[in-house]
Amino acid sequence: MDILLQKLSTFGNALPGDITQGLIWGVLAIGVFITYKILDFADLTIDGTLGLGGVTAVVLITNGVPVPVAMIIAFLAGCAAGLCTALLNTMLGIPGILAGILTQLALYSVYLDINGKANAPISVDKFPLVISSRYVTAGNELWDILRTVGTALIFVVLIIGALYWFFGTEYGMSIRATGCNTSMSKAEGINTKRTTIITLVLSNGLVGLSGALLSQYQGFADVNMGRGAIVIGLAAVIIGMVLGEVILRKRFNFIGKLTFTALGAIVYFVVLRIVMLIGLSTDNTKLFSALIVAIFLAVPYIQKSSKTSFRKAGKRSAVGAAGAAAVGESDEMQPALSGSVSDSDKKEGE
Amino acid sequence: MLELINLRKAFNPGTINEKKALNGVSIKLDEGDFVTIIGGNGAGKSTTLNAIAGVWPVDEGAIIINGQNVTGLSEHQRAKYIGRVFQDPMTGTAATMEIQENLALAARRGQSRTLRWGITRREKEEYRELLKTLGLGLEDRMTSKVGLLSGGQRQALTLLMATLKKPQILLLDEHTAALDPKTAAKVLQLSDEIIAANHLTAMMVTHNMSNAIEYGNRLIMMNNGQIIYDVKGEEKKNLTVDDLMKKFEEASGTTLNNDRMLLSKKG
């Protein structure tokens, strides 16, 4: 009982931090949403972009660049990474997934070129960072905790607002059309290469910004901070979509989708905390992310195939064929009993 | 209005699968012409329409729309001159977007897409009135996703989209072939009405010879990537399906090989 209480208190103390972390990753998840869900493009660039955004911000801030400027440049660095993938895909004909992997790989080198080594620390004591995990842990003033969570929340809300506006504009609508039906989009005069480029640039910009927030929050950037980011982003998107459909049902509109994507990221980190309190070791968090995504992607497929599968059709046909054969035989052998046989056959059928 | 000059196109050139799809297609359409196109399998009917639409560049020849040479323009650049309805009802609309959003996308064909709001209130009212003319009840489902519509409804909507912004030329590529006969007849009737009402120049590929005779003011027959028969006016009106079969054999030296066309001979 004591252990349970202790764990509950640990959970409670960690909750504001988990929510903040979820919101920061929510910015990344929203970036994943606009490529994966709107453009229908699985963009693996972001594993590299997160670290790029993180290290860009850290290096600039430690060199005296004002924090907001550093974050804008981190956003732009992310945009540039997205542009690389987009050009590889649209201009050089490299399939989307591969184009993303190529840029992602190259970005690890770019990271090391920027920083010279894998780790880039930054201290909230020396620089006016916008967000830090320092102020969100237990023992802080309530105001500091609220301020930290609130800062992350403001970023997410502003981004959702901006994207809601953007995808409602003429250009935003043409991006949605591109993701849905390329032939139709071209026939309606939409330059589908350009819409693809813009979307990837925008998405990676958000991931770069997320990296800038994350490195400030955790107090360092690391060359591996983005490893598996796409999986966490997808987990957030998928959890968000499932929750949104269950909770909002028919009212699950575009702004709801963006909101639930961020919410999905929070849920992911809270659930991760719970399974870690239960006993998952930190070494296994990536295994956990992969499992979550695999399960959530598999569920719709399993649901569908449980309704209609060859195995079940085979079973049904075997029962039917045996029944028909039985009826046929008894008809031949004992014509007088055929009535009762078909009665029993009916019962079996029911 | 539309002029095709000696269009040639080979697919998979230099390989064992080389297919010379267009072998010098030339035709000149006048404003208001409604041309029906028939021909055997692989005759180049859809290929001609795709060449006009700019799905790929032609190997040789020129495509002139309203005096402007569009041969060097890509598909989306040409779109401002061209309205299209495809054979597959899925192709012409965006399934995950609302009916009114699809119309709004089509209304901006050929314009640069700005950061203004994608659909205005005034537009919505216009679309409601337009949808009423279809008589399919779509005016009450403006915010429904197009994916929920039937094939016939989607084709009717695509027709509306293709003509929402008056195209210089309307291309109908067997747009009723995937529909059941009753719906097909309705959509065809609707196409005819829209073409007449807007005084459009149109080309319609069909495998139904009676339709090809009944609709439009001009009929062309294709074989082996060439136009082998071109008839208009009174002479076209007086054609019969048997005439067409005979013409085909005369002009091509073979019998017609379009299975669907033969199946629908009486229809």
Smallest CA–CA separation between B37 and chain A, in Å? Answer: 21
Terminal-residue alpha carbon distance, chain A: 51
Q: What is the pLDDT of residues B1-56, one digit of tens each?
A: 899 999 999 999 999 999 999 999 999 999 999 999 999 888 999 999 999 999 99
Number of domains in chain B: 1
ipTM higher than threshold 0.95: no
Span B228-251, pLDDT tens digits = 999 998 899 899 888 888 888 887
Which residues constitute the domain of residue B78?
2-93+166-263
Q: Which residue of B has its CA nearest to A162?
A: B115
- pLDDT at residue A282 in the model: 84
Is A343 a domain residue? Answer: yes
Residue A299 lies in a domain: no
Hey, which residues does B9 pair with through a beta bridge? B22
The answer as to whether A298 is a domain residue is: no
A295 falls within a domain:
no
Please check whether residues A98 and A21 belong to one and the same domain: yes
Residues in a beta bridge with B2: B29, B65
Contact A58, A122 (CB under 8 A): yes
pTM of the model: 0.88
3-state DSSP: chain A helix, strand, coil percent, rounded to 5? 80, 0, 15
| Two tokens, residue A254 | 């575009």
Domain for residue B6, yes or no?
yes
Confidence class for position B78, pLDDT limits 50, 70, 90: very high
Task: Looking at B135-204, list the stretches that DSSP marks H as alpha helix, in order from N- to C-terminal side.
Answer: 151-164, 181-198
Neighbours of A259 (CB within 10 A): 21
Q: Is residue A90 domain-shared with residue A167, that is, in the same domain?
A: yes
**Does any domain span residue A305?**
no
Residue in the structure block whose two tokens are 């480029």: A197
**The residue count for chain B:** 267
Do A280 and A335 belong together in one domain? no
Q: In the prediction, which pLDDT does A348 show?
A: 38
Computed over every residue of chain B, the mean pLDDT equals 92
Predicted confidence at residue A326, as pLDDT, reads 61
Amino acid A277 reads L
Which range marks the domain in which residue A337 is found? 310-349
Nearest to A204 by CA among A41, A62, A94, A23: A41
pLDDT tens across B179-216, in order?
A: 999 999 999 999 999 999 999 999 999 989 999 999 99
The answer to whether the beta carbons of residues B60 and B7 sit under 8 Å apart is yes
Distance in angstroms (rounded) separating the CA atoms of residues A203 and A224? 20
Q: Do A174 and B113 touch (CB under 8 A)?
A: yes
Tell me whether A218 touches chain B (CB under 8 Å).
no
B110 neighbourhood in chain A, CB within 8 Å? 189
Q: What is the pLDDT of residues A14-51, one digit of tens each?
A: 999 999 999 999 999 999 999 999 999 999 999 999 99
Minimum CA–CA partner of A166 in chain B: B115
Asked if A180 has any chain B CB less than 8 Å from its own CB, the reply is yes
Touching check for A45 and chain B: CB below 8 Å?
Answer: no
- Tell whether A96 and A233 lie within a shared domain: yes
Tell me: the pLDDT tens digits for A288-346? 888 888 888 888 788 777 777 788 888 888 877 776 666 555 444 444 444 443 343 43
Share of chain B above pLDDT 70, in %: 95
Let me know if residue A342 belongs to a domain: yes
**What CA–CA distance (Å, rounded) separates A264 from A345?**
51
**A213 and A268 part of one domain:** yes
Together in a domain, A185 and A326:
no
For residue B27, what is the enclosing H or E element? strand B19-29
CB atoms within 10 A of CB B111: 11
Q: What does the longest C-alpha to C-alpha distance in chain A come to?
A: 101
Residues of B in contact with A170 (CB under 8 A): 108, 113-118
* Chain A closest-CA separation from residue B236 CA (Å): 31
Question: Would B159 be classed as within a structural domain?
Answer: no
pLDDT at A313: 81
Cβ-contact A44, A101 below 8 angstroms: yes
Closest residue in chain B to residue A190, using alpha carbons only? B76
Residue B260 has pLDDT above 90, yes or no: no
| Residue A109, domain member (yes or no) | yes
Domain assignment present for residue B50? The answer is yes
Looking at the complex, report in whole angstroms how far the Cα of residue B81 sits from the nearest Cα belonging to chain A: 10
B113 → closest Cβ in A170, A180, A181: A170
Q: Which of A169, A180, A183 minimises the CB distance to B97?
A: A180
Chain A residues lying within 8 Å of B161, measured CB to CB: 188
Are residues A236 and A339 both part of a single domain?
A: no
Residue B107 belongs to some domain of the structure: no
C-alpha distances out from residue B198 to B92, B111, B120, Å: 20, 20, 24
CATH code for the domain in which residue B175 is found: 3.40.50.300
Chain B contact for A40, CB < 8 A?
no
With 0-12 / 13-18 / 19 or more C-beta atoms within 10 angstroms meaning exposed / middle / buried, residue A158 is exposed
Which among A173, A186, A191 has the least Cβ separation from residue B118? A173
Cα–Cα distance for residue pair A97/A200, rounded to 1 Å: 12
Return the DSSP state at B137.
S
Instruction: Based on the fold, state whether residues A224 and A331 are members of the same structural domain.
Output: no
Torsion of CA A127, A129, A132, A138, to 10 degrees: 70
Q: CATH number, domain at A211?
A: 1.10.3470
- Residues in chain B whose Cβ is within 8 Å of chain A: 53, 75-77, 79-80, 82, 84, 86, 90-97, 101, 104-106, 108-111, 113-119, 161
State the average pLDDT over residues B45-71.
96
User: Are B85 and B171 in contact, with CB atoms under 8 Å apart?
Assistant: yes
Looking at CA atoms only, how far is residue B83 from chain A in angstroms? 8
Q: Is A273 inside any structural domain?
A: yes
Q: Do A336 and A231 lie in a common domain?
A: no
Q: Taking 60 as the threshold, does the pLDDT of residue B60 lie above it?
A: yes
Note whether A277 and A184 are same-domain residues: yes
Residues of chain A scoring pLDDT < 50: 330-350
- Domain count along chain A: 2
Nearest to B95 among A168, A180, A186 (CB): A180
